[in-house]
């Protein structure tokens, strides 16, 4: 459990650092990086690329547009499609921003031998199964905060029995 807490804390600290130093959330930076890597994209393409719902992406884009980091343009051929582009300020912000935590992780993970990668993946999948978390939806963006899970999933995750008030046998700390 301590290792899981360390992982969770690393994600949280990275997120807080990003917000305080750059004024961006992890999903905002992920969208900026996606736009920087591939140029203008439709909202649907962005939604699929960052694995977030269209409503979430639309809200993030609203905030980025208010800050002058992105602009939206209607498609020339299909006026129903909206394409998003980085502004000059958005490109400058992207140049100043750090890599996402997952980017550093993927570089380090890629340096491992195949058998090490397989062993880590297998172990993580086993932890997910042991926590009965296979059905919890999780985007590949590492960010802390509230998740859309049911009370039953929360109780199961913390090892609580139905009708109890506490986290079962988990120790504090």
Shared-domain flag, residues 108 and 46 = no
Strands (E), the chain: 41-42, 70-74, 82-86
Per residue in 51-90, pLDDT tens? 888 999 999 999 999 999 999 988 777 777 889 999 999 9
Among 96, 120, 136, identify where a domain stops: 96
* Cross-strand partners of 42: 83
Let me know if residue 152 belongs to a domain.
yes
Across the range 129-145, mean pLDDT stands at 68
Indicate whether 9 belongs to any domain: yes
109 lies in the same domain as 136: yes
Which residue bears the tokens 């360390």? Answer: 6
In terms of residue numbers, what domain contains 125? 101-157
**Is residue 171 included in any domain, yes or no?**
no
Asked whether residue 167 is domain-assigned, the answer is no
Same structural domain, 92 and 105: no
Give, in order, the Cα–Cα distances in Å from 34 to each of 28, 53, 85.
10, 15, 10
| pLDDT score of 14 more than 50 | yes
DSSP H or E stretch at residue 67: none
Question: What is the tally of structural domains in the chain?
Answer: 2
């Amino acid at each position: 459990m301590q290792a899981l807490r360390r992982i969770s804390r690393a994600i949280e600290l990275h997120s807080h650092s990003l917000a305080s130093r750059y004024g961006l959330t992890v999903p905002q930076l992920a969208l900026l990086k996606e736009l920087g890597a591939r140029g203008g994209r439709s909202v649907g393409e962005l939604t699929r690329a960052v694995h977030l719902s269209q409503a979430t992406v639309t809200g993030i884009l609203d905030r980025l547009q208010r800050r002058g980091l992105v602009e939206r343009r209607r498609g020339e051929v299909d006026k129903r499609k909206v394409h998003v582009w980085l502004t000059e300020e958005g490109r400058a912000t992207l140049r100043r921003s750090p890599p996402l935590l997952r980017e550093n992780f993927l570089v380090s993970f890629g340096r491992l031998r195949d058998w090490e990668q397989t062993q880590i993946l297998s172990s993580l999948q086993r932890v997910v199964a042991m926590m009965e978390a296979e059905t919890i939806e999780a985007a590949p963006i590492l960010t802390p905060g509230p998740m859309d899970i049911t009370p039953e999933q929360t109780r199961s995750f913390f090892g609580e029995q139905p009708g109890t008030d506490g986290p079962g046998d988990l120790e504090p700390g």
